Each structure stands twice: as structure tokens, then as C-alpha cells.
Amino acid sequence: MKEVLAQELQNYMHSLLPEPKAWQTKMLAEAESEHIPIVEEEIANFLALLVKINRSKHILEIGTAIGHSAIAMAEQLDADGSLLTMDLDKERLKRAQYYFEKSHTAAKITAIKADAREYLPKMAQENHVFDLIFLDAAKGQYLNFFPYLEQILAPGGIIIADNVLLNGWVVNLDYPNHRRKTFVYRMREFLTQMKENPHYNMSLIPLGDGVLILRKKD
């Protein structure tokens, strides 16, 4: 009974979201049919709201996929705003560029093929600064990414990390699969360190597969 009510409630909440545009409907269908991981509509809407609330000017996204979340955020930027998004998959970046054009956000978005493990240290060394960072890439790397994200995040800036609940795996470390156990351990360590970091305000929201929000104190 609870599962039925939960699904009905989710369907109702989904019905309150803005109607998708034609290009968006095509993108969502493409992602579903090809099992491309993109953020849920609720999270895309949430990201757009955070960009507005934070009055973001310069956004960094790690993990482009086919551009769903990048577009949601870029649509809320003023004309002088910018968004840099990176991904390792050249083909997905090509598709993302197509949707950037269709959504009329291409002028605000720069998409690059890059490995965040290599590119983030370079950005930190070059003193890049962003006021909002969306992290939606290799979940096991969140902990390794953070020292560089911290260097390029402006005071008062926000880091948003998606999928931090790992389909519920984070509640249990007793996995026979060593790889999964290591994966879960890294995420739990990341969450613990964020909780204990005195330089950030933290909130973990049970939206989608778990969204972590960190605000760097002024």
C-alpha cells in the first residue's frame, strides 16, 4: 500500500512540473531508450531554482551526458552568465551540443572533452572561480575532486553533488562484492568529511538518488 501511495504521490508531483518543450521530450526519450544517465526532471527543476536563488554567474558542471542539467541551469543565467561543462564521452558531448542549439543556450555553454581528475588541478592552478558547481560524474571520485573544487569555488558559492545515496547502498558496508564495498566506502567517507567540514553549510536532500548541497561560508 505504501509503495502504491508513494508512486501516486510521485506522479502527482511530476504533474506539477513545467510542460517539456519539443526538444526536451526528444532528449528524455533518447536518454530512456539508450539508458543514458541524466538527472530526473524534478532535479533539473531544482537546479534551475538554485541558479536563480544563488544569482549564479559562472557555473561548472562535471558530467555532461547529453546536456539535460546543463540546459536547465543555463536557461536561468543572465546574458553575461556562463556555464562550463565537461565529459569524457565525445559522442555524448556531440549530442549535448545539438540540444544546446535547440534550446537556445549554446551561447552560454562551453562543453569540453576532459577528464576531471586531470582538468580540475589545472583549473585550480590557473585560479578559475565559479559560484556554482554541479557534480554528476564518477561517484567514487567525489572525495578526490573536492580539494580542487574547494579552491575554485567562490565564497558563498554552492556545490551540488548528485546520486550521493547510491541507490540506497550507502546504508550498508556489508557487501560481498569488493568493488561495490569500496565504492560505498568512498561515498560514505565523502559525506562524513562534508558533514564535519567547518567551512561549509551542508544539506542532504532525498530527491532522486540523493542530492547533497554545500554552501561555502563567506
Domain range list for the chain: 22-216
DSSP 19: P
pTM exceeds 0.85, yes or no: yes
* Distance from C-alpha of 210 to C-alpha of 43, rounded to nearest angstrom: 10
For each of the chain's 218 residues, which pLDDT tens digit applies?
Answer: 445 557 788 888 888 888 889 999 999 999 999 999 999 999 999 999 999 999 999 999 999 999 999 999 999 999 999 999 999 999 999 999 999 999 999 999 999 999 999 999 999 999 999 999 999 999 999 999 999 999 999 999 999 999 999 988 888 777 657 777 888 899 999 999 999 999 999 999 999 899 999 999 98
Of 151, 165, 149, nearest in space to 61 by CA: 149
Asked if 57 and 81 touch (Cβ cutoff 8 Å), the reply is yes
Check if CATH label 3.90.1580.10 holds for domain 22-216: no
CA distances from 133 to 51, 122, 130 (A): 10, 16, 7
Asked if 68 and 27 touch (Cβ cutoff 8 Å), the reply is yes
